[in-house]
Structures are given as structure tokens and as C-alpha cells.
Amino acid sequence: MEFLDFRWDIIWNYRESFIRGIWVTLILTICGFIGGFILGVLLGLGKNSKKKWLYFPCKLYIDLFRGTPLLVQIFIIHLALIPTLFGHSLGFMVSGITALVLNCAAYTAEIIRAGIQSIDKGQMEAARSLGLNQFQAMRKVILPQAFRRMIPPLGNEFITLLKDSSLVTVIAANDILYAAKVVSGAYFRFWEPYLAAAALYLTLTFIVSKVVSLIERRFSIEYNPRKNKNEGRVGA
């Protein structure tokens, strides 16, 4: 049985590929998420807008990118869009990050929209009745509250993106999965490299989920009545 004689030394021999793979995966994911978040905020606000000319393009974008597979988007961007725009490929990094940003933005937009809509209508009314304009009310009253509620789903989105970034390996990105592929190609062994890749992804997602719950706790502290212990709570 192959099971019994795992040859972990072949992973060790290719440790540099795996370490580079971790970096590439992290860079793809972090850049994809940051870009996706910024674009997603704009799209989410747009989809919340009452103005039709703002709402419909945003809705169309979100439907398009959520309704098609990321793999297909990666191929279109890498093989069709970028060569058409620039005349030649700009490498897997540019194509990969572009695809992840555009894809992540669509999902983030929905998280942003839902977060904003979950805030009681009275908050906006109270802010506007004090004379704040729409933008000020969003910035000072709605978004700070909505953001807290967005942290858990945004964390999920980050983890999903981390895993989905492995798709970029199809355009020859040398990420974690690519390292596994190289090892399996060199030794014709499949258990060790792909289990190693799985373990690396698992470790990364585990760390991310810990960080997310840490952030979650950090932000709920500001609300925590116990912070003002000496002031005492008066009956509700």
C-alpha cells in the first residue's frame, strides 16, 4: 500500500516551491480582497441607491460576476481581455489579481448592501433630521454601525477568496496548488503533494478565521456597556 510509505521528503525537497506558493496565494488573496472591498463598497452603495442610472449598472455587474464561474472569468481576463487591451499578456499576477478583485467585489457589494439595509431606518432619519446630508449621515451614523455587522460575512468572503485563489493556478500562477502540481509531476506521486497543499490551505484559513473573530471581538468592545463599570447600569 502506498498509504503506508508516505515519502514526505519529496515535499521537503520542494519546500521552496511551497513557500513561494504560500506567498503567491497570500498576495493574490490580499490584493484581491482589498481591491474587491473598495470596488465592492462603491457597488454596494450604488445598489442601495434610489437613482436608477446608478442602481442598474451596479446590479448588472453583481449579477454578471456572481452568475458566472470564477474559472471562466479568469480565462476571459487572462486570455481575452488583457491581451486585447494591452496586446500581450501581463503575466498571471496581473490577470489573477484582476479576476479576484472583480469577482470579490460582486460578493462584497452584496455584503455591504445587506449590512447597510440591516440598520434601522430611524437612524438615517435621526441623522438627516439633525441636518446631516446623505453622505455625512452614511459616514458618521450608518456605515460605522453597518461595518460591525459586515465583519463576519466579510471574513467568510476572505476565506472563500483564499480558497478560490487556487483556481488561478490554471493560468500558471505559482501558488500553493501549483507547487503541489510540480511535485506530483516530478515524482508521479499524488497523495503527498496534494495533502500538503490541502494542509497549507487549511492552516491559512484557520489563521484567518482566528484573526476575524479577534477583530469581531475588538469592535464589539466599543459597544460593551461593561466598559463603563463605575457608571453603573440604570434599569431598562
Q: In the complex, what is the shortest distance from the CB of residue 220 to another protein, in angstroms, rounded to a whole number? A: 11
Task: Evaluate whether 186 touches 115 at the Cβ level (below 8 Å).
Answer: no
> Of 6, 33, 14, 3, which Cα lies nearest the Cα of 176?
14
Q: Name the minimum Å distance from CB 127 to another protein.
A: 8
Between 109 and 127, CB nearer to another protein: 127
Which CB sits closer to another protein, 60 or 130?
130
Contacts by 18-23 with C-beta closer than 8 Å and gap 24+? 18/176, 18/179, 18/180, 18/196, 18/200, 20/174, 20/179, 21/174, 21/175, 21/176, 21/177, 21/178, 21/179, 21/180, 21/197, 21/200, 22/176, 22/200, 22/204
Cα torsion 154, 155, 161, 164 to 10°: value is -130
Interaction site with another protein (CB under 8 A): 120, 122-123, 125-133, 136, 140-141, 144-145, 148, 222-223, 225, 228, 231, 233-236
Nearest residue (CB) to another protein, 147 versus 187: 147
Beta carbon of residue 162, minimum distance to another protein (angstroms, whole number): 30
Closer to another protein by Cβ: residue 102 or 116: 116
The nearer residue to another protein, 20 or 128, going by C-beta atoms, is: 128
CB of 217 to another protein, least distance (A): 16
- Minimal distance in Å, beta carbon 58 to another protein? 24
